[in-house]
Structure 1
Amino acid sequence: MADTETGAARPRPATLPLLIAAVVVVVLALVVWALTADSGSDDSTVSTPAAESADAGFARDMAVHHQQAVEMSYIVRDQTDNEDVRRLAYDVAQTQANQRGMLQGWLDLWGLPKTSPDGYMAWMEGGGHMGHEPRDGSLMPGMASNTELDKLRELEGRQAEVFYLQLMYDHHMGGVDMAQACVRQCGVETEKQLAQGMVQGQQSEMELMTDMLKERGSAPR
């Protein structure tokens, strides 16, 4: 999107701070994990979950789910000048990039692959489909389709804001569904605590998105 005064393209937000923050979170997660495993806590009995476990499945799938949220957030930051939407997009991107680094750090620590031969959502009891199936290139419930991502890239201004908020609301619905399943099914206490934090954080953002959509004469889909 061109700058309204100079006509020059606005540069993309710097990603270095996000990368640094993600590295820091991963290092801290590994340290905490090592300490809890050595301390004789309940986590020590499940310090290396099985590849097909809910712990590993959640880490793999949520990392992928988070990556799309980061992508959509950077798209909309280039498509609007509205500071409220840009601030929300930055917060979503920063939070989910950091959490994604933590999830992948655990998989590395456990020596488990970052992809599952059983496909996405196989670890979830009931599949977590929220009443609908992934479609048109979307990998999991709540994720945007290829067509929707292409549309978001084409929109600008208020139209981009509304569509982003609707897509991210759906995305958070899927994320909350997955995180609640981890709280129920995962055995690693540290991971369950992260999942519970995701539930609370994303539900709060969904309320904010609903208010922002209402201000724009719209609503979640």
Structure 2
Amino acid sequence: MTAVTLLAVTAIALIAGIMLRPVIIDDDHGAAALLSTVEVGFLQDMSAHHQQALSMAQLIDRPGVDDGVRSLARQIRVAQANEIGTMTGWLLLADQPLVNPAPMSWMTRYGTTGGMHDHGAAHTTMPGMATADDLSALASLPPAAAATRFLQLMQRHHYGGIAMAQDLVAQVPDGLTRQLARSMIGTQSKETGLMGTMLTQRGP
């Protein structure tokens, strides 16, 4: 698959996700009732979390990088672009902003009042997020070292995403957002296991 083809597939996945709508809901009843405050915060913050995963996956998709790592990166990129599209569609349907003005304030896992929220930028408060220096280094490392660093960063990133999804599941008893979060937990748990195996093979 060429880079151009992958870009097209990612774009299609994103658009397809946006077009997905919970068809069992009658739009005439007002979409605001679709989502709780916790669900809105989760969808906003998980979309931002996924955006960084797309960036890391794109940085590692370059010549010289191990084919297995590149394949995993592409898999993550397409899947999470699709999920971003879905989450964006639900937020638009509910007439909610796409960016959370109080990142992570919905999450109770690290405290009883949204302990991850420190009034800072989203990337400083979300669990598992890479720093700007991490991303800069990933882009400049030689292929073999970049592949290893990508696996380390993405595994940590997935652990953070799983924690966010688990927190949503703990707070929301049912509904489509809960179903999406449970799907994320399953997919990302499998991928973290694969990344652990790949890291073990590389030695670190």
Unaligned runs of 5+ in 2: none
Tell me how far apart the structure 1 counterparts of residues 47 and 70 of structure 2 sit (CA, whole Å): 23
Tell me how far apart the structure 2 counterparts of residues 155 and 79 of structure 1 sit (CA, whole Å): 13
Q: What's the offset of the Cα at 1:186?
A: 2.9
Structure 1 vs Structure 2: percent identity of aligned residues? 33
**Contact preservation (8 Å) 1:76, 1:164:** yes
Correspondence for 1:81 among 51, 65, 68: 65
Deviations 1:118-154 (A, max 9, x none): x2110111447999x999x645120000111111011
Unaligned runs of 5+ in 1: 1-9, 39-43
Task: From the superposition, tell whether residues 24 and 76 of structure 1 become closer, same or farther in structure 2 (CA, over 3 Å).
Answer: same
- Normalising by structure 1, report the TM-score: 0.79
**Contact preservation (8 Å) 1:80, 1:86:** no
Give the counterpart letter for 2:82 in structure 1. N
Tell me how far apart the structure 1 counterparts of residues 140 and 16 of structure 2 sit (CA, whole Å): 35
Correspondence for 1:36 among 24, 27, 34: 24
Q: SS of 1:141's equivalent?
A: coil
Q: What's the offset of the Cα at 1:169?
A: 0.6
Correspondence for 1:66 among 18, 27, 50: 50
Give the counterpart letter for 1:182 in structure 2. L
Match of 2:105 in 1: 122
Matches within 5 A, 1:102-141: 102-117=86-101, 119-127=102-110, 138-141=124-127
Matches within 5 A, 1:1-221: 14-27=6-19, 29-30=20-21, 33=22, 35-38=23-26, 47-50=33-36, 53-78=37-62, 80-117=64-101, 119-127=102-110, 138-186=124-172, 189-218=175-204
- Normalising by structure 2, report the TM-score: 0.85
Structure with more of its chain in helix, by fraction: 2
Tell me how far apart the structure 2 counterparts of residues 80 and 37 of structure 1 sit (CA, whole Å): 48
**How many residues are matched?**
195
Q: SS of 2:73's equivalent?
A: helix
Tell me how far apart the structure 2 counterparts of residues 79 and 160 of structure 1 sit (CA, whole Å): 11
Tell me how far apart the structure 1 counterparts of residues 75 and 96 of structure 2 sit (CA, whole Å): 29
Q: SS of 1:37's equivalent?
A: coil
Tell me how far apart the structure 2 counterparts of residues 146 and 170 of structure 1 sit (CA, whole Å): 15
Task: From the superposition, tell whether residues 200 and 14 of structure 1 become closer, same or farther in structure 2 (CA, over 3 Å).
Answer: closer
Q: SS of 2:127's equivalent?
A: coil
**Contact preservation (8 Å) 2:109, 2:115:** no
Tell me how far apart the structure 2 counterparts of residues 157 and 96 of structure 1 sit (CA, whole Å): 23
Q: What's the offset of the Cα at 1:46?
A: 7.5
Tell me how far apart the structure 2 counterparts of residues 200 and 46 of structure 1 sit (CA, whole Å): 28
